A and B are shown apart, each in its own frame.
Chain A
């Protein structure tokens, strides 16, 4: 997750990287209490590039100018994002502007130091000229000096730039970051350096061990749209009539591929996550001698949440459930789906419920599928909202058949009675184009 510039600069300052005096403004009136002497720069705090070119950075000589500029910036979207905060910062006369970054290169599996004398707004255009130094072993300051030399720096600048790079690396390591970037690093006529703009990307997997960063990102994160149990899931909104619930990224992608190859259209798509995730906070195991049952892992609670979520989407006509796991618990799965159907029965609703098409692969999945096929909810179905009919459930042991049936159901005309006889299921099996 990208931090905002002012947050990045708070981290820079704590690390001893030189930054200008600045103040956060959340409404134009705040500028009346500005403690920084004019002239100042006002900068829109959005997590998007191209802010300068879009007019999100303005200079002001006095309070009246500043308030007018702030009003403009608060009303100026940068690639669709409006700022909540403007950073007011002292103006700096840079003679030259450099580009510096520390990033993790996932192919090399090492952090890399990047630097160029061509910084500022042109950095992207001159990206190919950026020098890089791979930190292949434990970091030591010589890596930073090596970068400064490769950048073509001389004399005093070698020391001042490499000192900044060292501190950037320290920040990168200490906070588990994916990226620390200073662009531009202002260089004054007499060779002093100043981080004029900065970008910090925190690593989401490491975030929980950095409470300080968590408080920063809490201010950024959009309101959670998923219940906590579904947090690891990937949610897609694709606009079609077939909802998908799947476990694992690769499997979700493969399922989407087959659906599209068969000319189907996916609606919401939820990935419950693969086998390698666990509820690490689960209760510890009892001591020796006490009953030692295997824990039930799994997807049951996530599946229940996912179903509840998708059932609220009026445009979905089918939910395709595709689960593959060696720890698939058939009994629990049947319970989950039966509970879902019962609960839906009791809820008042404005639209019909989507039909369920299920493909499972796991221990004794055939028996589970057979049991599931006998479940039917006493609720209005998507195709016929007022009939008081049952939610049809279709079970298959191949994905091809399941997808063909899902597409068939999605196509069924609203006015037409949903056809859920075995004959209809059979007829639809010949359609997939693989």
Chain B
């Protein structure tokens, strides 16, 4: 993992609506954004970031690139990512929403063979507070500190970070793996990375309705993670709501893994199932974002004594 102010970053889709906004924000935060890619665009620079038609042209000028942040329209994401893979970029962060899942399957087959990290799609990316911003996280809500924040959400991640920061708890990193049912890097992968990270003393895992990422993470934590973990699952009030939980999800979230038997599919993706998995793994579960700092402080105190 190479996320620091020195590592070279490009933004693919820099002249698309989100690229225009977030590329300058990342640069302003201190991220070393060396180039933007916008095929057949009419601009040669955007807020001081030089623009190229091809990734390889950017590399010819700047040398090798560590990370690309992709903000192209969803049907162009696969092509952008394959282009980055082809020129040797090994960290790909996809922020765009609406990437078809079979495009991700194609991309992940290639990426796994090349041992490339894929974050997203439909992700807020990541921030290492005080050092580097590779996504849409509002910098004002973050401070450097000991908490590793992992999430499947975007705006909810910001809200949790703000609660932590306000309580005097900074973050070693905050990252959204993406809100789609099918994403690149998993919670488990990041738990392993943060478990080995010296800056991270406690991990906060923010889950929500859908997928079985949280359940797999709970199993993995019980098995292999030494760093204390605090969980918060959005949607815990669902059993009390007068509607089936599936109705809450946009249609693209309703894909279920068919490896499940029909029986276990009944409560697949429900917050109740996730909370049960964390409880079984003896991981404290917060009732609200506001309760997260309290549980983090408790875990830190226990760890430090």
Contact = CB atoms under 8 A, between A and B. Distances in A.
A317 B152 CA distance: 33
B288 A257 contact: yes
Interface string B90-117: 0000011111111111001100000000
A220 B290 CA distance: 43
Interface residues of A, number: 79
Contacts of B212: 107
A434 B288 contact: yes
A110 B104 CA distance: 9
Given A292-B46, A361-B162, A250 B21 contact: no
A173 B121 CA distance: 20
Contact of B136 (A108, A275, A285, A295): A275
Given A250-B206, A261-B288, A278-B16, A205 B100 contact: yes
Interface stretch (A3-11, A40-48, A97-105): A97-105
Nearest to B157: A250
A399 interface: yes
B297 to A, nearest CB: 16
Interface stretch (B53-61, B219-227, B250-258): B250-258
Nearest to A328: B138
Interface residues of B, number: 89
Nearest to B15: A285
Contacts of B152: 250
A112 B182 CA distance: 14
B102 A173 contact: yes
B109 to A, nearest CB: 6
Nearest to A256: B237
B250 A297 contact: no
A106 B21 contact: no
A104 B102 CA distance: 8
A325 B105 contact: no
A81 interface: no
Nearest to B259: A105
Contacts of A173: 102
B20 interface: yes
Contact of B155 (A136, A138, A176, A324): A324
B243 A238 contact: yes
Contact of B137 (A105, A286, A326): A326
A363 B289 contact: no
B209 interface: yes
Contact of B105 (A109, A208, A276, A288): A109
Contact of A249 (B73, B137, B249, B259): B249
Contact of B74 (A104, A205, A247): A205
Contacts of B139: 326
Contacts of B43: 285, 287-288
Nearest to A365: B140
Contacts of A176: 100-102
Nearest to B251: A204
B102 A280 contact: no
A261 B259 contact: no
A132 B151 contact: no
A106 B287 contact: no
Contact of A363 (B109, B122, B140, B234): B140
Contacts of A247: 155
Given A251-B155, A324-B158, A203 B15 contact: no
Contact of A325 (B42, B155, B247, B262): B155
B97 A274 contact: yes
Contacts of A137: 109
Given A106-B256, A275-B155, 20 more contacts: A106-B257, A111-B105, A232-B250, A249-B153, A250-B179, A250-B206, A253-B248, A254-B235, A266-B241, A273-B97, A274-B122, A274-B154, A276-B121, A280-B74, A285-B46, A287-B42, A292-B47, A295-B21, A326-B136, A326-B138
- In the complex, the 4 A-B pairs of residues with the closest C-beta atoms, listed nearest first: A326-B138, A250-B153, A250-B156, A248-B155
Interface of A: 1, 101, 103-112, 114, 124, 127-128, 132, 136-138, 173, 176, 178, 203-206, 208-209, 232, 234, 236-239, 247-254, 256-261, 266, 273-280, 282, 284-288, 292, 294-295, 297, 324-327, 361-363, 398-400, 434
6 contacts: A104-B182, A107-B259, A178-B255, A250-B206, A285-B15, A363-B138
Interface of B: 15-18, 20-21, 24-25, 41-47, 73-75, 95-105, 108-109, 121-124, 136-141, 151-159, 162, 179, 181-182, 206, 208-209, 211-212, 216, 234-238, 240-243, 247-253, 255-259, 261-262, 271, 287-291
